[in-house]
Amino acid sequence: MTPFPSSWASLLLLAATAAGMSACMHLFVSLKRKIQTLENACSALQEAQADLEKESRARTAGVEERLRAEEQRAAILTPPAPPRSGLNLNKRTHVMRLARRGERAGAIASTLQLPRAEVELLLKVEKWNSEIRGEGDVRGQEREAARAQLSG
């Protein structure tokens, strides 16, 4: 076999270089197109994000405005009544008076519209207080002594 003449080798080398250069140029152009497409998509996403931020701010402002209006309306309304006190001295006094008259806990509870358990508790507490003070039957004894003095 005969070797290629040098002109043919130069020509082949030149053709291979040209093919490589055109392949590089094709890759360069297609990459530029792809980069441009991605930049366009990115800018479209940024615009969409900016629009969403504006819409979100507008909605937030609307919600804040409604909240302020509701707070002002709530300030105009009367506040709720304070919770019932657990110790109503007036009702306690009534419970003790009815108990001294001989009323039972159930009757006292229905008369004063109190829970029966509360009436029973008040009666127990009063009984314990009188025992602690040593007044168990002192009042009854005082009444008898007063009656004896009046009649005697």
Q: What is the DSSP secondary structure assignment for residue 86, as one 8-state letter?
A: S
- What pLDDT digit, counting tens, does each position of 34-93 carry? 999 999 999 999 999 999 999 999 999 999 999 999 888 877 776 666 666 565 778 888
**Long-range contacts, stretch 28-32, CB < 8 angstroms, 24+ apart:** none
Domain identity same for 100 and 147: yes
Q: What is the DSSP secondary structure assignment for residue 102, as one 8-state letter?
A: T
- What pLDDT digit, counting tens, does each position of 1-18 carry? 555 567 888 899 999 999
Domain identity same for 96 and 132: yes
**Considering the domain boundaries, does residue 10 fall inside one?**
no
- Give the pLDDT band of residue 149 (cuts 50, 70, 90): low
Helix extents (H) in 77-115: 89-100, 105-112
Domain identity same for 95 and 69: no
Helices (H) then strands (E): counts for the chain? 5, 0
Domain ranges, residue 41: 29-75
**Considering the domain boundaries, does residue 9 fall inside one?**
no
Tokens 């490589």, residue located: 20
